[in-house]
Structures are given as structure tokens and as C-alpha cells.
Amino acid sequence: MSDNDSPAFDTTFGDLRISRVAGHIGGEVQNLRLSADLSAETIEHLNAALVRHKVLFFRDQAHLDDREHQAFGARFGRTVAHPTVPAPEGTKLFELDASKGGGRADSWHTDVTFVDAFPKISILRGVTIPAYGGDTVWANTAHAYERLPSQLKQLADQLWAIHSNDYDYGADRVLVEEQRLRHHRDVFVSAVFEAEHPVVHVHPVSGERALLLGHFVKKFVGLSSTESARIFELLQNRVIRLENTVRWNWRQDDVAIWDNRSTQHFAINDYGDQPRLVRRVTVHGEPAVSVDGQRSKTRSRPEATNDARIDEVIARTA
Ligand SMILES: [Fe+2]
């Protein structure tokens, strides 16, 4: 049996050579130079591998600058800016700089679920990586659903949740400095967004059912806050069980791409004052679809979004 046939490797996606990183989620794609010039076939294989492995890792992508990162991201769909956090000048990048208020994503979440059409894919590039600490952990929300007992599946199938960017920021964090709270209040929640999503949604490509929860959930529709908190904890604990996760130890110039429709993630805040800077390209997604075919709904959003404002600026300066 050759190395490529080993169960540790997945070679079912064209020329991609993917080594599995954990039992139920995560694959490292070896020897691929990410670029906007990749063939349509390779992009198709990456999309398919992403749906299977949920998060793909790539080492040694030092050639990617902000422009190339965005151009590569655009091969997966329309790229979008964060709805409230300003992007670095002239870009739609989302930057996490640990030295600034909003730079530490140390709470379990799926990206931007406070809008109805939340992102389908996130592409994160390690620009400055600390010497130790700062790993990111992803959880497989489809596997979490699959492993639920049928009684809990039936309960979850019927629930809808209200997601908001105005959530309880300090609730699950061990240490929240004043600077971070201020950033959350003044920047992250500068405009309030709320969306209603089914707690169980059907993946548009694989048809798998997955739990859609994370820290933006405020409460469940029709339940009190106390009841919501108890049921949320029960289901969320299923998502973040260790055997359902993969932990990535970043090196400088790594890239991680995740299927935001079937994962949650958590950036471990254990690197103290060391610099850490990562930048994300985010790809527009569709509203979630419940097991009985209903789509996510907007409850509230401001008139002009950050993304629309950036589009205007780009159009004016083009
Ligand atoms: Fe995130």
C-alpha cells in the first residue's frame, strides 16, 4: 500500500493530497500554492474537499498578500466585508489584531450568524503568529447533530434561534479587558443586526443536517431566556465535545479555509501580549434552510451596511 492509499490520506479530490488532522474534522492540503490562478477544476475539488473535511489547512503560503488573498477568495464567490467592523483601507478584509480591542475571538461561534444570509466560507491567513499559544479549534456541527439521540434531534429540528451581534460578550470569556468591552460596544455593535435561523439546517451542497448555534444566539423563539439558556447549553455542549473538534497550531503564513455552514470555531487566548495578526476573506452565503424547507429571516438590520458602503467607495475610486 503506497503512502497515498493510507487512510490517513484522502486522495479522492483530483490531485489534492489531503492528510487528515483529526478523526471527524480537518484536513491538511499538501503542496498546493493558493492563488487566484488555480484551475476551475482545482477550485471545484477544494470546494468538495471543504464540504467533506469542514476545515482545510495549508502551510507555507507566504506569497499571499492582501490583494492575492482577496483575489483567491473571490474564486469561491462574492466576498463580503464584516457588517460593522471597519475593513483595512480599500479592502473587504476582516482583521483580528490581538493588540486591539476586537482582536481575540475566544468564544465559540459561527461567523456572522446575526444576518440571515451568513457567510458560507471563511479564509483566514496567519500574518503574524505568536511563538507559542494562539491555536484555533474548529468543531463539526453536522457530526454533532448526527450523534444526537433521536429524541434530541426531534427537539432541535423544531427550534429556531434569534442571533444578534448585541449578545452577551463577556458570558463565555475568562478574561475581558475594558478595551475589548469598549470595542464590542462601540464598533462591533455600532449597528444592531438580528436574524432568525433554524437550529437545525440542511447543508445546501451535502444535504447533511447541522446544528446552527454559537455565541450570537440570544434565545430560542417561543421560549423564555432561562429555558433557552438551558437548551442552548445542552446542544452547544454536543457541538464542542473534544472528539468533534480539530485544533490547529498555527505557523507563520498558514491559511485555514472553513465551511462556515457546518462548523464553529474558537481562537484560544493563551499567548499574552505576543503580537498576533490574522486576516480573513469572507465569502457571501445564503440563508439557512430548515428541515421543513423554511429559510432564515432578518429581524432587524440598518439601512446601509458596511459592505454596501465599501462597495460605494470602491465604485467611486475605481
Ligand atoms: Fe470567527
Instruction: Give the closest residue to 257 by CA, choosing from 276, 277, 282.
Output: 282
Residue 70 lies in a domain: no
pLDDT higher than threshold 60 for residue 212: yes
Reply yes or no on whether 20 is catalytic: no
- Which CATH number covers residue 109? 3.60.130.10
Is 82 a member of any domain?
yes
Domain contains 310: yes
pLDDT of 38 reads: 98
Domain assignment present for residue 65? The answer is no
Residue 147 lies in a domain: yes
How far apart are the CA of 126 and the centre of ligand 1, in A? 14
Range of the domain at 84: 78-317
The model's pLDDT over 251-309, given as tens digits with 9 standing for 90+, comes to 999 999 999 999 999 999 999 999 999 999 999 999 999 999 999 999 998 877 677 77
Answer positive or negative: Cα dihedral of 64, 66, 67, 69. Answer: positive
Q: Is 265 a catalytic residue?
A: yes
Given the residues 24, 69, 143, 265, the one annotated as active site: 265
- Give the whole-angstrom CA distance, residue 185 versus residue 85: 11
Using DSSP's 3-state secondary structure scheme, residue 152 falls into helix
d(CA 234, CA 131): 36
Average pLDDT, the chain: 93
Q: What is the pLDDT of residue 231?
A: 98
Is 125 a member of any domain? yes
Determine which of 16-30, 116-130, 162-176, 256-270 has the lowest per-residue pLDDT on average.
162-176
Domain count of the fold of the chain: 1
- pLDDT tens, 22-71? 999 999 999 999 999 999 999 999 999 999 999 999 999 999 999 999 99
How many angstroms does the Cα of residue 226 sit away from the middle of ligand 1? 26
Q: What is the value of pTM for the model shown?
A: 0.94
Burial class (CB in 10 A: 0-12, 13-18, 19+), 27: buried
Angle at Cα 115 formed by Cα 235 and Cα 101, nearest 5°?
Answer: 85
Q: Is 45 a catalytic residue?
A: no
55's grid cell: 476545515
- The answer to whether residue 207 scores a pLDDT higher than 90 is yes
Is 90 exceeded by the pLDDT of residue 141? Answer: yes
Does the pLDDT at position 318 exceed 60?
Answer: no
- 40, part of any domain: no
> How far is it, in rounded angstroms, from Cα 256 to Cα 272?
22
**Residue 216 included in any domain:** yes
pLDDT digits (tens, 9 = 90+) for 69-110: 999 999 999 999 999 888 988 899 999 999 987 788 889 999
